[in-house]
Structure 1
């Protein structure tokens, strides 16, 4: 079935690598927020989230490593999430990583919806995570032709 893009929204901190410095700990921190309108009941919403991050001060005690935990909320309800563990790094320089994931929602209720992205490091005693960029989310609403 053919689909038509009827709405687009986005939020970004930066589109650049090393564009910001946002320390992340075990407490979830709001990093992105935007609104999107869904005009008809038969639809699907495609969300793409990208977060660049850096790990420092890693304790060399596997198996626990710092973890970036991302949650996407729509109107306060979790609709997508991703967790990425850092890769063990024995060097003195920061380890740089980028996490990208999609969340696909179907038949979202008609109306205006608030989308938020929260970031946390549930293993913050194992090392430090700093968001550095790029940090962005896009939302697209599609309906049948």
Structure 2
């Protein structure tokens, strides 16, 4: 069945590498937020989240490494998440990582919905995570043509 893009929304802190400096610790921090209208009952919503980050001050105590934990919420309810563990480069240099993931929602209720992205580092005692960019999310609502 053919699908048509009926709504689009996005939130952008930066599209650039090294465009922001946002320290992340164990407490979840709101990093992105936007609203989007869903006009039809039969639909799917495609969310694409991208977060660039750096790891510093890594402690050499395997097996745990700093982890970036991202959660996407719709109207306060978790609808997508990703967790990416850093890896040890065994050097004193910055470790730079970009995490991108999609969340696909089906038959979201008609009306306006708020989407939020929270970031945390549940292993913050193992090293420091700083968001550097790009940091953005896009939301697309598709419905039958």
TM-score category, normalised to shorter length = over 0.9
In structure 1, the partner of 2:73 is: 73
Task: List runs of 5+ in structure 2 lacking aligned partners.
Answer: none
Partners of 2:89 and 2:30 lie apart in 1 by: 28
Determine the C-alpha separation between the residues in 1 that align with 2:104 and 2:63.
32
Correspondence for 1:107: 107
| TM-score, length-scaled by structure 1 | 0.99
Distance in structure 2 (CA, Å) of the matches to 1:24 and 1:4? 37
Partner of 1:51: 51
Deviations 1:113-135 (A, max 9, x none): 00000000000000000000000
Matches of 2:93 and 2:130, distance apart in 1: 14
Taking structure 2 as the reference length, the TM-score comes to 0.99
* 1:1-145 equivalence runs, <5 A: 1-145=1-145
Q: CA RMSD in A?
A: 0.4
CA distance in 2, matches of 1:62, 1:102: 30
Q: CA deviation at 1:67?
A: 0.1
Q: Please report how far the alpha carbon of residue 93 of structure 1 lies from its aligned counterpart in structure 2 after TM superposition.
A: 1.2
Please report how far the alpha carbon of residue 55 of structure 1 lies from its aligned counterpart in structure 2 after TM superposition.
Answer: 0.1
Alpha-carbon distance in 2 for matches of 1:64, 1:133:
24
Find the residue that maps to 2:125 and give its secondary structure: helix
Gaps spanning 5+ residues in structure 1: where?
none
